[in-house]
Amino acid sequence: MSDVLQWPADLPQRFLDRGLQEKPGAVVVRTDMSSGPPKKRRRFTKDLRQIAGVMVMTEPQIELLEAFFYGSLGGGALDFLFLHPRTDALTAFSFASPPAYSKLGGGLWEVSISLEKY
C-alpha cells in the first residue's frame, strides 16, 4: 500500500455522523431454475463496500479536493488511503462518483462523497 496516495491532511479527516452510510455489496448471484430451488453462488472473492457521507469544507478546501480528485487520482481512477469511518482502520478506497457540493453560506459548503472499497 506504500504506492497508494493518502487523503490530504488539509481536508476534513472524518465524515459528519449525520447521514453517514455503509452498504455492503451483494456477493451472491441467484439464478432461478425452471424447476426446483434457485441456485446460488458467490460472485466475488472480496466484497464491495460503499460508504457515503458528507463533510463541510471551505472554498479553498474544495479547490484542494478537486486537485486531488482530478489531478492526483486521475478523475477518481486511483485508490487512496482514508480512515474507515466505522473501523478507524487506514483503508484503500476509491471514489464511486465525483464529489457534489451544496452551499451552506458563510463560505462553507456541504460536500457529498461516495466511496467504495473492495
Higher pLDDT, 2 or 48: 48
Residues in contact with 23: Cβ distance below 8 Å, sequence separation at least 6, in sequence order? 49, 50, 51, 52
Name all contacts of 76-79 with Cβ < 8 Å and 24+ positions apart: 78/4, 78/5, 79/4, 79/5
Q: Does domain 5-117 have CATH number 2.40.30?
A: yes
pTM of the model: 0.82
Q: Per residue in 25-82, pLDDT tens?
A: 777 778 888 888 888 877 767 778 899 999 999 999 999 999 999 999 999 999 999 9
Q: Per residue in 81-118, pLDDT tens?
A: 999 999 999 999 999 999 999 999 999 999 999 999 98
Residue 44's pLDDT is what? Answer: 65
H or E, element range at 65: helix 59-66
Q: For 4-32, what is the mean pLDDT?
A: 90
